[in-house]
Amino acid sequence: MMRGHLQKLVFFVFVFSGILSFSSSSFANSTCQSLLAGILESKPVDWEHRDRSLSAVAMNSVIWLSGSEAAQSLLGSHQAFGSAFIANTSIDVVLTMLSHQISLGRVPAKFKALFDGKQNYKRRALLNTTMAMSILLPIWTITAAATGAPVESFEAWMNGEVIKPLGAFGALALLYSAYRVAPYLKSYFFQHVPQRRDHKRWLQLWETFPDEMNVLETAAKTRADSFELSQAEFENLVLSMMEVVRLRIPYEERLSESLRSHGKLKKSIQAISSETRDLKKASLRLGLTKSLLQLHDKGLHQEDIQIALNLGEPFDALKSLELHRQLNERQKRKRMRLAMTGFIDQSIWVGFMGGVVLRALTGYSLPH
């Protein structure tokens, strides 16, 4: 039985990972021949990009919910990982995704003015609270009806025989208070911390490539003039763009015959050539660059690899390799940070707020 539960957990994690990895990227994809050209040809959608915190948050939401269900199974529950789990997890994860985006002010452009900036944190909290209560109250009503409460009777509602008024008002006050704090916490975890770390990376790149970074920053500023970005936001977005733009460069087309015949590289080239999905192709291309760097570090095919991984002016061949390494390191640390902050974030919202506080309120609010 436990094996079946684990299979369901793996299935959910896989599905949500695949959907969110695709949907959370806002970069337009196209092929370019150099890093500088890619930045100069960038589109407005490129400058709207943010780190993939949505994916990390949703994945950790699934993990927390699945962990809670697994605990119930170990305690002897025969309903764990059943149809109710599928329905509840779907609702909870969608609500988590929406509330996360709203708390960070990531709303459609036409509503941006209503929710942008600290002065509109109250509006974000009000919208999130309304959305959560519109889901919570119907679920409580259905649960009350299943226990035999006379939900069709107006008098029963007024007497608190369906849902206790104090419980409903308590949930409303609690949710609004929590969502009022959420923008501060989420901004710290998913904006301020990444920007602070990227500032250190930015200074490191300037120290290593002063002339080259001057050219890139000048080019980036010509494309970002129409956006209201702080220096910290600008640095974060340019570094993210550098990571993505370099994976638009078709390194696989530059490989020499000796490299093409190399066992591991041959499979990578075939996979990239046959792939039609932009994000998957970028991921495969990233793997190819890492394999090439490993071969170069071993002293194999060094001249051919320097030609293949050249990022173009203003970077020469050796500086291109060093920039690849530094961007790979940034991406590795970013993934680790997102996994950690996503877990902490959801331990607050799913683990404590949902698993402890709202569960206790539910027990109090519904008839026994």
Instruction: Please give the model's pTM, rounded to 2 decimal places.
Output: 0.80
Of residues 187 and 75, the one with the higher pLDDT is: 187
Q: What contacts 163, CB < 8 A, 6 or more positions away?
A: 137, 140, 141, 144, 157, 365, 366
Report the number of distinct structural domains present in the chain. Answer: 1
Residue 14 clears pLDDT 90, i.e. is over it = no
Q: Considering the domain boundaries, does residue 174 fall inside one?
A: yes
Q: Give the residue-averaged pLDDT of 69-86.
A: 71
Q: Considering the domain boundaries, does residue 129 fall inside one?
A: yes
Cβ distance 309 to 222 under 8 Å?
no
Amino acid found at 71:
A
Domain that includes residue 94, residue range: 2-17+53-241+330-365
Q: Considering the domain boundaries, does residue 277 fall inside one?
A: no
Give the distance, in angstroms, between the CA of residue 13 and the centroid of all CA atoms in the same chain. Answer: 14
* Tens-place pLDDT, residues 234-284: 999 899 889 888 998 999 999 988 888 887 788 888 888 888 887 788 889
Write out the two tokens for 253: 């087309």
* Tens-place pLDDT, residues 96-134: 999 999 999 888 777 778 888 888 899 999 999 999 999
Write out the two tokens for 115: 């929710």
Cβ distance 126 to 176 under 8 Å?
yes
CA distance 257 to 216: 32
* Tens-place pLDDT, residues 168-188: 899 999 999 999 999 999 999
pLDDT at 108: 79
Place of tokens 């949710």: 175
Q: Give the residue-averaged pLDDT of 283-310.
A: 93
Q: Considering the domain boundaries, does residue 248 fall inside one?
A: no
Cβ distance 171 to 365 under 8 Å?
yes
pLDDT at 18: 46
Place of tokens 């779907």: 90
Q: Considering the domain boundaries, does residue 40 fall inside one?
A: no
CA distance 117 to 121: 7
User: Averaging pLDDT over each range in 223-232, 269-278, 299-308, which range is the top one?
Assistant: 299-308
Q: Considering the domain boundaries, does residue 139 fall inside one?
A: yes
Q: Across all residues in the chain, what is the average pLDDT?
A: 84
Q: Considering the domain boundaries, does residue 359 fall inside one?
A: yes
Q: Considering the domain boundaries, does residue 310 fall inside one?
A: no
Closest CA to 206 of 214, 198, 197, 196: 214
